[in-house]
């Protein structure tokens, strides 16, 4: 009788899930499958480093990083459900909220170093250009990678801070890789680029006249990781924990950052060794997000005052 009860108990345990089970939908070997839309640039090194270090695995997340072309693709992918989480710059996220899209920040993405001459974003001119300071950019033709976005806003801030009037600037949309050649052939008077294009252009003779991220706000939060209302709270909490650990690790291990850049970008190793790395603080600088929102409103990029608290809880 005792043996029969033991056998019956074993069968009940197996029937109730005590044995081997197939993974639930969205699960992989007990881990939640997550697809993150991320631009393959220097800014996003922490998420790649965090995945390699197992920080997402520690949170039971099976992370896939899908390269995207920019913030617009990240946002549309997240809103459509292709991505559970994604990376986009501050202005793109503020614009998305203004358009009524359900996006919400879950972790910091990347921040300016705040140091003149040692940041990852700059406005450059030819070595023989008469433009000597940011004030001289007034009325000039300047390239940005995307019109009516964080480039326009921060370049204008540099000009204002230097005592110039940015209202007459003509912005021209050019992809970062194409900007240095456009400068050399006089298609534009100045270019706004980020690393590695800052270091590449300077090595070819270009001269920095403004460090626009550092000019716009102290410790500027340039971009953030976000999700939408369709992602459940528990997964959001776990992703944020893994992302925060990744940011902290990247910020304190620059040599490992430079190594991981070789795995997902096409930047030459000799350039990786020289570029100015950004900062990756865990906390979003909410004051700087508000500053960007106010500047974008003044410049007409946003049409109404942004609710920063709704974007960055």
Task: Please report the pLDDT score of residue 30 as a whole number.
Answer: 81
Task: Please report the pLDDT score of residue 29 as a whole number.
Answer: 60
77-92 pLDDT, tens digit each: 999 999 999 999 999 9
Task: Please report the pLDDT score of residue 9 as a whole number.
Answer: 41
Statement: residue 4 has pLDDT above 70? no
Query: Which regions of the chain carry the CATH code 3.40.190.10?
Result: 32-112+219-310, 121-216
Statement: residue 211 has pLDDT above 60? yes
Average of per-residue pLDDT across 212-241: 97
Cβ neighbours of residue 225 closer than 8 Å, sequence gap 6 or more: 36, 47, 85, 86, 87, 105, 106, 107, 108, 109, 239, 243
Percent of the chain with pLDDT over 90: 88
Statement: residue 1 has pLDDT above 80? no
Q: What is the mean pLDDT of the chain?
A: 91
Q: Is the pTM of this model over 0.85?
A: yes
Statement: residue 14 has pLDDT above 80? no
Task: Please report the pLDDT score of residue 150 as a whole number.
Answer: 96
Confidence class of residue 19 from pLDDT cuts 50, 70 and 90?
A: very low
244-275 pLDDT, tens digit each: 999 999 999 999 999 999 999 999 999 999 99
The C-alpha angle with vertex 87 and arms to 262 and 242, in degrees rounded to 5, equals 75
Percent of the chain with pLDDT over 70: 91
Nearest Cα to 136, choosing from 98, 154, 162, 108? 162
Task: Please report the pLDDT score of residue 72 as a whole number.
Answer: 87
Average of per-residue pLDDT across 125-129: 97
CATH numeric code, 121-216: 3.40.190.10
Statement: residue 7 has pLDDT above 70? no
Domain range 32-112+219-310, its CATH number among 1.10.3720.10, 3.20.10.10, 3.40.50.410, 3.40.190.10? 3.40.190.10
């Amino acid at each position: 009788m005792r043996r029969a009860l033991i056998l019956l108990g074993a069968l009940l345990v197996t029937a109730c899930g005590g044995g081997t089970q197939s993974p639930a939908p969205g699960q992989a070997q007990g881990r939640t499958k997550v697809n993150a839309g991320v631009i393959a640039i220097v800014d996003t090194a922490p998420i790649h480093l965090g995945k390699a270090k197992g920080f997402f695995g520690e949170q039971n997340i099976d992370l896939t990083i899908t390269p995207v072309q920019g913030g617009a693709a990240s946002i549309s992918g997240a809103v459509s459900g292709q991505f559970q989480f994604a990376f986009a710059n501050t202005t793109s996220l503020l614009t998305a909220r203004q358009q009524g899209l359900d996006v919400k920040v879950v972790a910091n993405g990347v921040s300016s170093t705040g140091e003149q001459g040692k940041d990852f974003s700059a406005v450059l001119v030819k070595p023989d250009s008469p433009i000597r300071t940011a004030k001289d950019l007034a009325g000039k033709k300047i390239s940005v990678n995307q019109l009516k976005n964080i480039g326009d806003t921060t370049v204008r801030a540099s000009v204002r801070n230097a005592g110039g009037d940015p209202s007459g600037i003509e912005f021209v949309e050019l992809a970062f890789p194409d900007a240095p050649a456009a400068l050399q052939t006089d298609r534009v008077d100045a270019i706004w680029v980020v690393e590695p294009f800052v270091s590449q252009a300077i090595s070819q003779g270009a001269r920095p006249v403004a460090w626009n991220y550092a000019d716009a706000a102290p410790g500027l939060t340039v971009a953030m990781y976000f999700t939408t209302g369709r992602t459940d709270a528990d997964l959001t909490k776990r992703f944020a924990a893994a992302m925060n650990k990744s940011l902290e690790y990247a910020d304190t291990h620059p040599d490992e950052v430079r190594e991981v850049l070789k795995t997902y970008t096409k930047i030459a190793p000799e350039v990786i060794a020289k570029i100015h790395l950004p900062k990756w603080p865990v906390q979003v600088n909410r004051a700087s997000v508000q500053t960007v929102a106010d500047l974008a409103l003044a410049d007409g990029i946003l049409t109404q005052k942004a609710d920063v608290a709704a974007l960055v809880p």
